[in-house]
Chain A
């Protein structure tokens, strides 16, 4: 007996794999549990941010007189206030607002692709996947710019006690505040950016399969749904990163 014939026979017995207590397919279920474990990782990173922040001196003076110092934790609004093409203009959180909008929009186009998949509408799936890939790519570009700006620093830099100035940030030195602030910025936004990048790669693969009609022949677009779950999770993580890193 060949393996294909045994695979084709559906299992129907309660103790033979025929029972589906969670009423979700294997693939979807495993995606949910993967995302749960990923949520633990991101949760741990954000919690370490909270721990580091609470173990440093907060800035207590008036926000208008704020200067960068390794003595206290910086106010995020004063760190993330640059926008491409507006050099030297103080635009607090404007760029990160744009990035948030792009990611929410990409989540909507993703859910529209999933919806089109339910209707077996190949052209619509293609169209919305394309938009999602585009928004994901734009988001990655924005993050690259933000990293470049964070690493190269501002014009003024930070004045040290010995009269020298340091500009920008790396893993050991940071013009914006304690070195841990930069480390956590690189780790948290970097780990999220890696997820966005993986998501775009997955979306491109699913897009190619959709164009080739793989899912149409299979009779369902569940793969779009599973990648969609991952993509929404990436958006969800950004919502939390945005609040805990940029707003609070």
Chain B
């Protein structure tokens, strides 16, 4: 396809194209794959429970960190931008704690009503 296209657009190219810097990208990729593999290891070797769920959530937060910091480049943005993204996410954490405890309460009250 490239061989048949006209090269009129390439006129603005000045000088050599610098070499690709992909070391960090592939390193991040292998970290993400390794963390996912560890999650599967736990899923198949460990019995379900609070501890296993905690391990899953911690590993997920690590994966989220690498995606947002390296792939989305947030780590290299200005501090003001980093905080204006991260601080509102605290609201989600609060909602999560509130609604999951609400769910447990709802479950308890239904069970007590029927027993």
Does A112 contact B22, Cβ atoms closer than 8 Å? yes
Does B67 contact A235, Cβ atoms closer than 8 Å? yes
Does A217 contact B9, Cβ atoms closer than 8 Å? yes
Pick the interface stretch among A40-48, A148-156, A164-172. A40-48
**Can you name the residue of chain B whose Cβ is closest to the Cβ of A247?**
B56
Q: Which of A101, A123, A232 contacts B36 (CB 8 A)?
A: A101
Q: Which bracket fits the contact residues of A?
A: 35 or more
Complex CA gap A21/B89 in Å reads: 21
Secondary structure class of chain B's binding surface, majority of residues: helix
Does B29 contact A108, Cβ atoms closer than 8 Å? yes
Greatest chain A CB density within 10 A among B21, B36, B59, B71 is at B71
Inter-chain contact total with CB atoms closer than 8 Å: 149
Does B48 contact A75, Cβ atoms closer than 8 Å? yes
Does A119 contact B17, Cβ atoms closer than 8 Å? yes
What 0/1 pattern do residues 193 to 217 of A give for CB contact below 8 A with B?
0000000000000000001110011
Interface residues of B in 59-113 (CB under 8 A from A): 59-60, 63-64, 67-68, 70-72, 77-78, 80-81, 84-85, 88-89, 91-92, 95-96, 99-100, 102-104, 106-107, 110
- Asked if A232 meets B67 with Cβ closer than 8 Å, knowing A21-B80, A243-B60, the reply is yes
Complex CA gap A211/B10 in Å reads: 11
Does A120 contact B17, Cβ atoms closer than 8 Å? yes
Does B103 contact A24, Cβ atoms closer than 8 Å? no
